[in-house]
Amino acid sequence: MEKQATRRSQKGKPLIVLGFVSIAILFLIYARFQNASVTPDAIPAIERLALGFYIALLISFGAISYGLYRYHTQKVLEKDGGILSTIAIATYNNRSRKIFALAFVAYGIFFSLTSGTLVYQPEVVFSEHYGATVPSAHITPCCGDPGYMPKFIVYFTEHVGLQIVPINLLLQIIVSYLVGLNAALAVNAISIAKKEGGLSSVGAATGLFIACPTCVGTLLSIFISTSSVLAFTVVLTQLQTLFIAITIPVLFFTPVIMARKLRRPDGSCTVKPS
């Protein structure tokens, strides 16, 4: 059984690494075409390249997801008493899976709204303002900063649309996954902390900010006067990428802290997988 688990781990890790390396290569390759002068004759070729970009991106996401699944399963079977094994076991039950899925989807939708991926503009008629055909979908292959092209734009109705930007899509999936993982662990950690009397209001508030990084800006805007909201929103938008860059390492580190709360003195996990 242990040998089979090790083999699964060895197959899971390369898939994760391959997926992220492929994404990095895709961004670098496509960035080379953004500075080139685009002629009308070259547009069909660039559009095909943009379509291939998204197909390869989805395949990379699939490889990473399957690799994580195999690695997660392997860590549950190993039960080596390590932090990663504790995290895997604590989130390998029906309750944790449901919480993970709910947090992943909920935060993904929230992130989509705040990042401009999911667009709702009741005061704008897309067909009149943008000259768009509703409903329709198209790829904008050129030109922009690296990571922001190609864009995939969908018009569902006259007021609801979808604008997929590669870097935003990547950040949304990574952060949503980490938020889901933190939420699943937090429920177990809080249950144990309540039994031990170690839960504080400060700890709960910190967990809220960690589980929903984008909520910080929303909460702060409540305490700012109406005349200052617009200026604050502009600043927050400009700092969004930096803020997320800081958040991701925190979301990586927090499960380690919570996993320590879920370990017994002998290194085993207090939560049983199911």
Domain residue spans of the chain = 94-114+166-274
Residues 6+ apart with CB under 8 A from 52: none
**Could you tell me where the DSSP H helices lie in the chain?**
2-31, 43-78, 83-90, 94-115, 126-129, 166-196, 201-211, 215-222, 226-238, 240-261
pLDDT of residue 109: 87
Q: How many CA atoms lie within 13 A of 84 on its CB side?
A: 9
pLDDT of residue 102: 92
- The low-confidence residues of the chain, meaning pLDDT below 70, are 1-11, 34-40, 42, 81, 191-245, 261, 263-274
Q: What is the pLDDT of residues 6-33, one digit of tens each?
A: 454 456 889 999 999 999 999 988 887 7
Longest dimension (CA), the chain: 69
pLDDT of residue 132: 83
pLDDT of residue 248: 78
What distance in Å separates the CA atoms of residue 55 and residue 225, rounded to the nearest whole number?
A: 45
For CA atoms 9, 67, 208, 241, the dihedral sign is: positive
The torsion angles phi and psi of 263, rounded to 5 degrees, stand at: -100, 140
Look at residues 150, 162, 152, 163 and name the one whose alpha carbon lies nearest to residue 50: 150
pLDDT of residue 274: 60
pLDDT of residue 29: 85
**Tokens found for residue 110:** 């929230």
CB 75 within 8 A of CB 84: yes
CB 262 within 8 A of CB 271: yes
CB 100 within 8 A of CB 180: yes
**First-to-last C-alpha distance (Å) of the chain:** 18
**Tokens found for residue 193:** 């902390």
